[in-house]
Each structure stands twice: as C-alpha cells, then as structure tokens.
Structure 1
C-alpha cells in the first residue's frame, strides 16, 4: 500500500516536525506560522497549501530555468526509470544517459573543457574540483600546491570544504576546512569602491590578488575559484574586465582558474555557459548544477580541461573519487531532456531580450528611498536596502528589512528571497513581459509599504 503524502497545511506541518530545513532559523520555525507549504507548481507559478498561486521569483533556488511541470523532462525521467532505474558509473561501468549527457555538456562548454564528472550538488562539484586539482598537483610532484584563493562575498557550497571557500559569514559558529582557503577582497564596487573610479577599484582588486600570491607563494596555491556573478553573497557583479584580469594573473603564476557556474550556466545570463560568452575567459574548470536539469533531478557537473584530465588519467592511475549517485540514469535523462528543450525553444537566446527587460524593470526601483542599489544581470538580480541612500548606511541585521519586503511581496503573490539587507530574484527563464511587469509592480508596492512602516 502506497504511503499517502499529505497536502493539508496542518498535516504537512505535523510531519515537518521531523524535517531539518537548510539555512533556517530552526528555533524560529518551531512557530509553524513561519513556514510556507508548497504543494504544486506549473510554469512560473507555485501553489501553497492554502491554494494561493505565487510567482516563483526565486526559481525554486536559482534552478528551475525551464519552468515548472515541463512534461518533456518529466516523461524523460519516467521513461528512463522504466528502462534503467539505477546503475553506477563506478569502476568499468557506464550507461547511455550519463555518457550522452557528458558528451553534450562537453560540446556546450568552452574550449578545451572536454571531460565531465557528475555528482549531485554544486557543493560536491566544487569539492570535486579541488580534490581533482590536489591530485593533479600530486601527480606532477607538487604536493605543497594545495591552497585555494576565494573571495569575501563568495558562495561555493556548504560541505566542509566548499563552505570554507564560501564567504565566512556562511560558516559563523561552524567549522570548515578553512586552513586550505584564503579570501581576497570582495569585488563590490558600489559598497567598497570609496572614492576610486571603477578602473582604479579593479586595479586594487588585481593588486590584492598579486600581493596574496606573493605572500602565500604561487608554489603553494592550486586554484582561484570565482562565480562569474556572485549569487548568495548578494548578486555582486565585479567591475568590467575583472575576470579576464584575474585569469591572466593566475595563468602567469600557474594557478588554475575554477569558474563556479552553478547559478550562471544553462541560460540565466543568456548562454549555456557564461564564462567565455559573457566574461571572455576560458577557465581550467567549470562547475555547474541547478539549471543543468532545471531542478527536476539533483545533478552537478565538474568539467575539466584536457590538460588536467591527461595528468590524472595516466598509466597506473585510479580515480579515487566517486559518489553512489554520480551520473544517476534518471538525473542524466533529465539533463538531456532539459538541454534539448532549451535548445528547441531557444531559451538562452530569449533571455537576452526578456532577461534585459527583467533587469531594467527592477533597476527602475532604484528611485525608491529605501533602495540603495539594484544589481545583477538578466534573470539574476539583487536589491539592497539602505537606511540612508546618500551615505549607503546599511540597516542593522535585527531590523530584517529584506525579510519584511519579502513577506510583503508574498502577501501580494510573489516569492522573493531575503538575504540580510537584500532581496534576491532568480525566476524561471520563461517569464514573459506581463509577468515581469507584475513583478515590478509587486516589488514597488512592497518596498513602499515597508519604507512607510519604517518611517513611522
């Protein structure tokens, strides 16, 4: 007899007593009215347990790029489970779906990135990139070349290693592999540029990299890891030319460049991969997840260069890294169907128009008193709220301004993600002009409401 999954609010919340939510105030969630129960989804809408239809302004969690309830992806997963429900890509085994998806991803990736390791999350993809590079350096007789350069404001995951590469704010009170990682300056010009021009701020950032390489020793540094646009650190866009300059310094010092495209790949910025097409770099490794299946199945990819692969696949070598669900047949089938759908409907190409409309609609909110900066690109946007617009004075954490705006927006039919003094938007890539306008109106009304309440 099949287990009946509850949908009524009270029944779900009773079962939820046993669930640990990610990145949540677990004590606060003991007050069950703080929880929203999502029971259904279609297109760019989700439905809660009270029957309210809400615009999914966060795309699940940066990931439902193709939109909810796409039958092509659902059918592909169903057909795959009926054909081959599970088999491993361990040892000498492979299967058609994983092999074909690896080929497809490699052909979409830039330049010489032709070898793909599948796992089940962006955290594991980034862990895998570092483990591979550590082994790569061992193979080359450089056992001391292990340090990783990251950035304050970065988000690279929540496993013991990936959270060490993430900005320290995400591991407050928790341990991590912090001895391996050094954080460079945050490239947020609006917040940290002071009286510098943007070009001068860029020079400062590059100099910071060079000083840290000198102090640590290039012979001790394996890689620099960077998101093309910082995501959960507040949707921070570095100055124009930043990634090319940083990549050039890394290459000159034999430091590998890892581009964390867990969020930016698969159409969010208008291309399947943003590193080369948008930012003009061909990294040594690209990591991705989320949009690769549009969230329909857990899947990530660590895509490595021919040169790295050649070193780690030499005679007598065993690749001593693997996960039970690496290249899971159903996940691989979802990835293939998702990419086929995106190619057929030309979703990345459409994003170059609709994403710009979304970006400009939200940037129009900059005129509001509470809004300090609207930043991001295409369907990846952050809105930062300030107490004093001219001085860029932030609100105190306990004032929870981002949360207040998110709650006001949800009452009006839009889910947005609060992040301290910021509000994050990362909707499905299928939004059309009317719903983009509706999002803009909801956000404007919600910000005005919160602003009025704060001024009373």
Structure 2
C-alpha cells in the first residue's frame, strides 16, 4: 500500500471505521471529525489543508526539541540498520547500556538503577511492582497500599490507572481501589479564605501523615506524586510541600515515587525537577515523554541504590524481579533518547527554558484581565488557563462548552490547545521563542474574547 497519497476524506473514513482512539468518546464513535495532522516542523503542525498550527500542548507534553529534526531521523535510521532489536532478557547492546549510564549521571543522588519501559504508564507500573517486590523480599507482604492524590494522573494501565485520582467518577473501567488511598486536592486555589500558603502546605503534608497513621504504617508501601499535577490542571503544590512529604515518608518507611513523566527532560528547565526544583531525592523516578521528545516510545523507572542494595547480591541466589517488556531497552528507542539528550545539551535547551520561562509566565498571567478567565498558573514551560463561566444549567456542561469553543476558535486562528473541561493547558516545545510565545497567547486571548460573546452569562 502506498503512503501519503490518500485524500483527506479517505483518511478520515479509515480513521473512523477502523481506528479506535485512546480516550474514545463512545457517543461519537465512528463519526468523529478530527483534524488530520499531515506534517510538522519546529513548533508547528500542519493539517490536511496546509494550515499551520502552533502546537500549544507540545503533543502530549512531549515534543521538547520540536518536530522534523533531520539529525534525529539520521540517528534513528542508523540504529535501525545497525541493530533494530535484541532480546532485553539475555543479551545486551550499546544504546540501552549507554543511556542507562547517562540517565544515572543526570539523575540526583543514588538513582543509579534504570529499568526501561515502553512509556509512562508502564514506568509507573514498574515502580509499584518494584515496591511490591521490595517489601516481599523484606518480609513485609502487607506493606502494599499506595497513597496518591485527588487530581493526580499516573497512566492508563491497570496499576497506573488505579493510583490515578483524576475523573474517577466518570471512569467506567475497573481499578484496584482496595490498595489505593487518595489524599484531598492540594490546589492552593481552593484553600479556605484567609489561610496562608504556609498553613495550607502544612495542612496538605499533614493529610499524608494522617493517612499513613490511619491506614497503618505497616500497610502503606509508597506515596506517588507528580511534582506538579499536570493533567489535573497544572496544579502546583505550595513551596515546601514535596520536602515535607518526603520527611513524612522517611519517618514511616514509605517509599517516595516521583512521577516525572511530564516534568522530566527540561519542562521546568532541568533534567529532573525532583531535586533541582523541589529539593528531594526520591526512592524512584518515573519518566517518559520528553526522554525521546516523542520521536519514539520509551519510558524508564529510576530506582535508588538505597532500595536495591538491601535485596541484591550473592545471598539473593534464585531471586528474580519478574517484570519486563518485549521492548524494554529497545535499541532504536534508546538511540533516539541519546540523540535527544545530545541535542538538548549541545543547543543548551535547558538554559533556554530557564531564560524564557519568565516571559512565558508573564504572557500567561496577563490573561487574568479577561472576564472569562478565572485563574492562570504555571511553572517553567507549562501553564494552565482556567475559564470562569456562570449561568443556569449544569456547571460541568458549561465548562465543557467553554473548553470546546475556545479549542475551536484557537484552531481556526492557528493554535492547538488542549481543553480539559474549562481549562486549556500549555506545554509547548522547549525551543519556542518569545515571538512565538506572543503569537500563541495573542491567539488565545482573541479566542477567549470571541467565545465570551457566546456566553452572555460570563462572570
């Protein structure tokens, strides 16, 4: 079958008839009118009509170095011809070995043990399974409950979905609720009137300690937390929150899993945010997305020496960590990750993020003067614009309408946004310039103003 020569209508027909998309809305199943992405370059995606669109969400938080890099394509092609695959179980090869060392060098402290996965969900699965394995080997078979948070997103495989706290009321898929406990929302925006951020932080850390005590320290195996709750609406916990939670975890011998699938690889201006931004050295870090800038699927779980050394060595004969994937340490994906890191180092992309982030946040927060904007929040090159809609009828339905209409207007004017109810989230490619930031937020402002005319009840 020849590629790249079908009409838009044929592609759309095939897409609707044969392709069941992730997070598929069953009310429009087989009848969706999705934009067809035809090509991409830099921070731009081109649709089937040749229209140029700024990629505001950076794909799914992942297109760090931008699209269409010839040097990345060459590195991938070279590895395909050299060694396209090998069994990760009983053979080794250069790309995963070198990448594992590189990640250990970039990660904080003792996070020197790298387990490669197929993406973020399987990285979180691996972290939870390692916690199970670790406690079983230490003779603590009941220490397995995972504490997560309301609004958290950790993936869509069974274990990662089980520890996800976002949209649980609308989830028609089964999850393991018996060994998961969700803490209340940490969003400072909802704190009681008159409460300081410091007091809010103390209360949220206390939520964790209270939960561990109530559940029993002998039953709680891990606390999992995104440094910022990305898909939950770019919720940024108050200063000191993560460090306080780490101290609580150490007090009760609970493993701390930092889910850096979004924040890793430059999104906040550092390779990993855990230590450099939030001053913690977790027991495990999960990552994916920006690891290859979305060029190929790859994830990893980085495991601290402190929880590997006690259960490894000559006295562990016959003991195996029975977890793995056919594509663990895939040599082509690992070659892509190595090239991605090389590009980011050579072109000083992390330094660029730290330099340009204040301007990105300034333009983001300038939208607060729009009547339909209830809040803006962000850190690094990730941000959220939250709508404020009031009126008769179901508030959630109004929020959905707001997000959908802003999305539609933005696309008409050349911007992709990611609507989540009444929120639009941004995580553009890290190579974005000031001029492109201006273009992005100018389009968003105009879209919000146009939508406001359709909501006369707007606050």
TM range (shorter): over 0.9
Shift of 1:167: 1.1
Q: Check the 8 A contact 1:29/1:35 in 2, yes or no.
A: no
Q: Distance in 2 between matches of 1:109 and 1:193?
A: 37
* Equivalence for 2:366: 364
Q: Distance in 1 between matches of 2:115 and 2:230?
A: 23
Which residue number corresponds to residue 430 of structure 1?
Answer: 431
What is residue 76 of structure 1 aligned with on the other side? Answer: 75
Tell me the distance in 2 between the aligned counterparts of 1:212 and 1:357. 39
Q: Is the 8 A contact 1:385 1:395 kept in 2?
A: no
* TM-score, structure 1 normalization: 0.96
The corresponding residue for 2:414 is 413
1:140-179 equivalences in 2 (<5 Å): 140-170=138-168, 172-179=171-178
**Which residue does 1:40 correspond to in 2?**
39
SS of the equivalent of 1:454 reads coil
CA offsets 1:200-253 (integer angstroms, 9 cap, x no match): 111211121111111101111111000001111111000111100111111111
- d(CA) in 2 for partners of 1:378 and 1:388? 31
- 3-state DSSP class of the match of 1:231? coil
SS of the equivalent of 2:453 reads: helix
Name the CA distance, whole Å, in 2 between partners of 1:343 and 1:187: 34
Aligned to 1:28: 28
- Which residue is equivalent to 2:51? 52
* Of 87, 100, 103, the match for 1:102: 100
TM score, norm. by length of structure 2 = 0.95
Question: Partner of 1:430: helix, strand, or coil?
Answer: coil
Unaligned runs of 5+ in 1: none
Q: How does 1:383-398 map to 2 (within 5 A)?
A: 383-387=385-389, 395-398=395-398
Residue of structure 1 aligned with 2:110, choices 109, 112, 123: 112
Kept in 2, the 8 Å contact 1:386–1:394? The answer is no
Once structures 1 and 2 are overlaid, which stretch shifts more, 7-16 or 325-334? 7-16
SS of corresponding position for 2:270: coil
Equivalent pair of 1:139/1:311 in contact (CA under 8 Å): no
Contact residue 122 and residue 300 of structure 1 kept, 8 A: yes
Shift in Å, 1:311: 3.4
Deviations, residues 372-416 of structure 1 (Å, cap 9, x unaligned): 110121211111111269xxx994235521121111111110000
Given that residues 149 and 185 in structure 2 are in contact (C-alpha distance below 8 angstroms), is that contact kept between their aligned partners in structure 1? Answer: yes
Q: Cα distance 1:394–1:348, how it changes in 2: closer, same or farther (>3 A)?
A: farther
Is the CA contact (8 Å cut-off) linking 2:389 and 2:399 kept in structure 1? no
Residues in 2 aligned to 1:7 and 1:111: alpha-carbon distance in whole angstroms: 52
For structure 2, the 5+ residue unaligned runs are none
Map Cα deviations across residues 253-300 of structure 1 (whole Å, 9 max, x no partner).
100110000000100000011100001111110000000000000000
TM superposition shift of 1:165: 0.8
- Give the length in aligned residue pairs: 450
Change (3 A) 1:343 1:75: same
In structure 2, what is the Cα distance between the partners aligned to 1:308 and 1:399? 44
RMSD: 1.7
Contact 1:394 1:421 in 2 (8 A): no
Residue 13 of structure 1: aligned partner: 12
Number of the residue aligned with 1:187: 186
**CA shift for structure 1 position 191:** 2.5
Q: Distance in 2 between matches of 1:380 and 1:394?
A: 29
- Show the counterpart of 1:374: 376
What is residue 445 of structure 1 aligned with on the other side?
446
Aligned residue in 2 for 1:226: 225
Q: Partner of 2:112: helix, strand, or coil?
A: strand
Matched position secondary structure for 1:318: coil
Match of 1:278 in 2: 277
Match of residue 346 from structure 1: 348
Three-state SS of the structure 1 residue aligned to 2:26 is coil
- Give the equivalent residue in structure 2 for 1:133: 131
The answer to whether the 8 Å contact 1:263/1:288 transfers is yes
